[in-house]
Amino acid sequence: MSDTPPPSDPTPSDPTPSNSTPSDPSLLLLSPEERRSQRRNRIRQWASYLGLSGSGIGVVAAIALLQQGQWLEAIGVMVVTMALTGLVIMGQFARKLTDRILDKIEERLEERIEPLATWVVDGLEQWMTGLWWQGWSPFEQRYTQSLIYEYRDFKTQGQRTRGPFALDLEKVFVPLRVAPDSLDRMPSTLIRDADARSNLQIWDVLAVAQQSTFRRLVIIGAPGSGKSTLLEHLTLTYAQRRQRRYHPKAPKLLPVLLTLRELREAIAQQPTLDLATLWEQQPTVQTLNPPLRWLHTQLQRGRCLVMLDGLDEVADPEQRRLVSAWVDQQIQTYPTVTVIITSRPHGYRTAPLSKIGTLLEIQPFNSVQVQQFIQNWYLQNELMSRLGKDDPGVRLMADRKSADLIDRIRRNPPLAAMATNPLLLTMIATVHCFRGALPGRRVELYAEICDVLLGRRQDAKGMDGSLTAGQKKSVLQVLALNRMRHRSEEFSTVTGGLVIQKQLDAVAGNAVYPEEFLQYIETGSGLLVEERAGIYKFAHRSFLEYLAAVQIKELNQDMLLTRNIDDPWWEETIRLYAAQQDASDLVWAALQRQTVESLSLAYDCMRESLSMRDRSVRQELATTLEQGLESTDGNLFRLAVEVQLSRRLKALLRVDDGTELDGTLVTQADYQLFLDEMRQEGNHHHPDHWQGDRFLPGRAQDPIQGIRAQDAAAFCTWLTYRCGNLGDLYLEGDSSVFVGDSRIRIPTVEEAQAYPISSSRGIYWCQGDRGLVLHGMSDDQRTAWLMQLHRAGDRDADGIRAMAQTLTIPALPPRPASRHAPHPQTRDREVALSRARDRAFQRLLTQALPLEHDLDRALALDAIVSLHHGNLAGWMQDINHLRDRQQALLVSLPQAKTLAQRIIRDRTPHPASDLTWLRAYTPLVALWWYDLADVYERLSRSSRLLRLNQRSRQQCQALAQTYRDVVESTFNLYACWVVLDERRAQQMPVWEGLRLVREQRDAD
């Protein structure tokens, strides 16, 4: 059999063969409505035919039977005929029902026709291609099947701790984000589509591979960023012919994956070898017995996706440049082939390719990718450990374990930074699953990672080394401690060589030069990275701090740490040291300093320490922090709260590169410090239900509740100022403009939903589309609150009636029925007002209570527009009453505004009578607005009055709606007075809490 390419595949846009064209081409041009009309006509014709024909035949048959004297038969025929006639009559209804059902089915099918057609065509294409492979290309089938066997498992190179089962790469893999070196050459449609997803993936680039610029790709990435796994995923996907699942325009290609490290010797010995010949020499290919020059034919036809992995893993610089030149030559030899080369950044910079069209860089995992990978990894691990059994119980267990790890990573900033690297995240997940080493024993995790990166991973990749992992680690410990002492992460090749020379000689003699060692660590393990020519640094600062802590422990130099106990540069190294040793001396040294930084660090050391032999030190720290939060001594209280706030801000959950979210609510002690400092400036923000200026004893660690929205925003502004150089705010007009590196703010509703907190009192302010809203209130809590507001409103009824009499506001008299617009009865109005109040109360729970704005809007009584030309007595009577009520309400307007503004601005408790007066006055205003809306609504339904008043129906309806909105706003205001009054009397529960977000300002 010949290995010729398959015939052209049918395109999705034309899946129907020419011989299946309908006999009437005009049917293809009918609109959906025209097709439905024709179908209905056919149904009518069938029903008419059945009805008339059946009735006529039945009558004729009955007459014939009567003439023959067959009475019983004639009666039977007549009964059947009458039944048939009745069915035809009833068929009118059935026909209409059938029409509606068929219309609905057709509408649903039309919505799904395009994706359904695409699915059918893709399936047909895959089936036809599979048939061709089976019938005409047996080798290609064997080859792709061998790739599936080779790359279907998710590989964790070199890990000591690993699960007993191989995981499915396709199920674990998370699509990686890539970024081009320049957007100028990228197609605008590609960038636009990627921006819509906030991602640019390799599939987006492959989809435009028909352009020569995007057929020749280099993908660079940091060690462990997933370069090799990405190529393995592409190979597996193309071998399974599933590329269209990732992008509808992904080209159909034949995958060829080669590792340059394994080809370097052959290329160095014979640089003229072509790609096809080199591929045929691979042992895995030779076992398949390929046809002569088979790959050469496929390459010439441009059918292949050639992936060359690990240019940087060609260690010798001269060999690397030779390999780069060979790759350039292959691109020139096969110009229509799609080629992808991967490398670490430095490895590519030392031997760049001249024929490359596009350079892409793999981006670190964002928080969504971290979460998706952990969930995929745990689900696959649970499924494999149960021999593929998949049921809700297995998935629930995977969800619990993945949620625990995700939460631990979010709460640990150093781990969160490391988790953006796919290799390190895989190690973290493996250790978490099989060793339970997170987060308290972070030193064990770092030891595992260093062991993998320094030894086992290189062995797995076939890299020989003359030093053991322990020996290399001892050299790096010396280097790490030197960098910590000099307060600099970067170092030159010369400096690093001088620092490690003595220890390197001790473990390797004269066999390894310092410069070679640094380069070997950079290319082989990734623990060091070359930032620029001749300048190195540790890949993560966590590695620098961990290795320094290990060296300090081995040298017994803990005095170096106690001298720097309140120095932020050393704090993580101190924590990691405490996790390996008894922390009593460190905690005691921190207690002597009595600073926020030292006490915060002491508390962390006590929690993470291997042991605390001195119980008196532990007790003294507990007294300073825990009892200090309840202390009435101002200095002790301030110090304890500042330590707590400092630890809170260091334990924020990482959402993405620029956002961190608090996992708990602000406590009463935290809020008290804000109140104390604001009170010194003459500002009061205490909760309305507090009877004094301080929280109740024993409540320091309880969440603050019952704060207004503007108070929550003020706390965030205060904390932003207080965090030193986080940022500044300045006023521009009436707005606050933030300038600085980061700020504290209230979370958005989306953030609160994505990252919930586990607390029964987890109700707090969030930023919604239309302002600050409350998040986390249950239906039962909402119902209880509404019932209390209703009961309070019922108690206000007598006060409202008494004020109406005091202000001499006449009741609106009943009107006779009118054929134009009947006046609503009193009961109907009460129902309407009750519903309006329900809506108002519900909105109250999700609004920021901007009282002054609502007050001015609700009491703008001069906005009434008189109806000059109404000549019907009933309408004029309503209008006159409205004018009388307006004048009566205006008399008390100054008193209402003065009292309301004083209550809003002055946070000291007021006599209950003050709010009682407003609780009666505000509903009267709302009722006046309601009646005004009612007048305009009835006016809009009377053509005669519209002509007399020279207003359009739309104008009157718009005015009616405007006044109805004011009614709701006024009821919100009334509800505010009720809430304030009831809470001051301790008759209504409080819920409104505060959660924090720290947001980094964009660099631009």
Strand partners, 656: 659
Q: Which residue has the higher pLDDT, 681 or 389?
A: 681
116, 136, 156 - which closes a domain? 136
Q: In Å, how far from its chain's centre is CA 129?
A: 39
Count the neighbouring beta carbons within 10 Å of the beta carbon of residue 252. 14
What's the CA dihedral at 864, 865, 866, 869 to 10 degrees?
-160
User: Quick one: pLDDT band at residue 876, thresholds 50, 70, 90?
Assistant: very low
- Whether 97 and 196 map to the same domain: the answer is no
Residue 283 belongs to a domain: yes
Question: Which has more pLDDT, 35 or 831?
Answer: 35
219 lies in the same domain as 346? yes
In sign, the C-alpha dihedral spanning 121, 123, 126, 132 is negative
Average pLDDT, the chain: 75
Residue 733 to residue 719: CA distance in whole angstroms: 23
Q: Is 165 left (phi over 0), alpha (psi -120 to 50) or beta?
A: beta
Residues 861 and 920 grouped into a single domain: yes
* 39-85 pLDDT tens trace: 556 555 544 544 444 455 666 666 666 666 666 766 776 666 776 66
The answer on pLDDT for 788 being more than 70 is: yes
Residue 73 class from Cβ within 10 Å (0-12 exposed, 13-18 middle, 19+ buried)? Answer: middle
Residue 341 lies in a domain: yes
Higher pLDDT, 43 or 148: 148
Residues 878 and 932 reside in one and the same domain = yes
E strand or H helix that includes residue 111: helix 71-136
Report the SS3 class of residue 745: strand
pLDDT of 817: 36
846, pLDDT greater than 50:
no
Residue 627 lies in a domain: no
Residues 124 and 248 in one domain: no
Among the three residues 348, 364, 380, which one is the final residue of a domain in this structure? Answer: 364
Backbone φ and ψ for 579, nearest 5 degrees, come out as: -70, -15
pLDDT tens readout for residues 8-23? 343 333 433 333 333 3
Phi, psi of 815 (to 5 degrees): -110, 150
In whole angstroms, give the CA distance from residue 440 to residue 590.
21
DSSP string spanning 970-1002?
HHHHHHHHHHHHHHHTT-S----B---EEEEPP
pLDDT reading at 30 higher than 80? no
Distance CA 362, CA 229 (A): 12
210 falls within a domain: yes
Whether residue 297 sits in one domain with residue 233: yes
Residue 436 — pLDDT band, cuts 50, 70, 90?
A: low
Which is it for strands 254-259 and 304-309: parallel, antiparallel or unpaired?
A: parallel
Beta-carbon contacts of residue 59 (< 8 Å; ≥ 6 apart): 78, 81
Share of the chain above pLDDT 90, in %: 19
Give which of 773, 714, 722, 771 is closest to 745, Cα–Cα: 714
Q: What is the pLDDT of residue 49?
A: 45
In this structure, the chain runs to a length of: 1004
- β-pairing verdict for 997-1000 and 742-745: antiparallel
Domain tally, the chain: 3
The phi, psi pair for 285, rounded to 5°, reads: -80, -40
In a domain, 973, yes or no: yes
Query: Per the domain annotation, does 556 fall within a domain?
Result: no
Report pLDDT for 22.
39
What distance in Å separates the CA atoms of residue 162 and residue 183, rounded to the nearest whole number? 41
| Judgement on whether residues 968 and 829 belong to the same structural domain of the protein | yes
Report the alpha-carbon distance of residue 684 to residue 700 in Å, rounded.
19
- Take residue 582 and report the two structure tokens written for it: 């008894």
Full DSSP string of 24-69: -GGGGG--HHHHHHHHHHHHHHHHHHHHHHHHHHHHHHHHHHHHTT
Q: Which pLDDT tens digit goes with each residue over 600-629?
A: 888 888 877 777 788 888 888 877 888 888
| Residue 459: Cβ within 10 Å count | 13
Structure tokens at 155: 């590989």
Nearest of 610, 625, 558 to residue 586 by alpha carbon: 558
**Which structure tokens are listed for 638?**
């301030």
Note the pLDDT tens digit of each residue in 892-943: 666 666 666 666 666 655 544 467 777 877 887 777 778 778 877 877 887 7
> Are 98 and 211 contained in the same domain?
no
- 145 versus 171: which is more confidently predicted? 145
Residues facing 893 on adjacent strands: none
Please tell me the distance from the alpha carbon of residue 198 to that of residue 175, in angstroms, as a whole number.
Answer: 13
Residues 6+ apart with CB under 8 A from 232: 151, 155, 169, 257
Q: Is residue 613 part of a domain?
A: no
Question: In terms of domains, do 121 and 220 share one?
Answer: no
pLDDT for residue 542: 84
Whether pLDDT at 956 is above 70 = yes
> In terms of domains, do 187 and 271 share one?
yes
For residue 167, what is the enclosing H or E element?
Answer: strand 167-168
- Residues 430, 443: Cα–Cα separation, whole Å: 15
pLDDT at 839: 44
Q: Is 481 among the domain residues?
A: no
Token pair, residue 652, equals: 């924020």
Does residue 843 carry a pLDDT above 80? no
Cα 897–Cα 900–Cα 906 angle in degrees, nearest 5: 130
Backbone angles phi, psi at 83, to 5 degrees: -65, -40
Q: State the pLDDT at residue 875.
A: 44
> Which residues, other chains included, contact 738 with Cβ-Cβ below 8 Å and sequence gap of 6+?
720, 727, 728, 729, 1001
Q: What pLDDT sits at residue 750?
A: 92
Alpha helices in 821-952 (DSSP H): 826-844, 851-858, 873-905, 912-940, 943-949
CATH of the domain at 193: 3.40.50
Specify whether 823 is located in the same domain as 876: yes
What sign for the dihedral angle of Cα 938, 940, 944, 947? positive
Domain-ending residue, one of 307, 337, 364: 364
What is the span of the domain harbouring residue 222? Answer: 175-364
Mean pLDDT of 418-431: 83
Cβ–Cβ < 8 Å for 993, 666: yes
pLDDT band at 231 (very low <50, low <70, confident <90, very high): very high
841 and 974 share a domain?
A: yes
Its sign, for the CA torsion 176, 182, 185, 187, is positive
249: pLDDT strictly greater than 80: yes
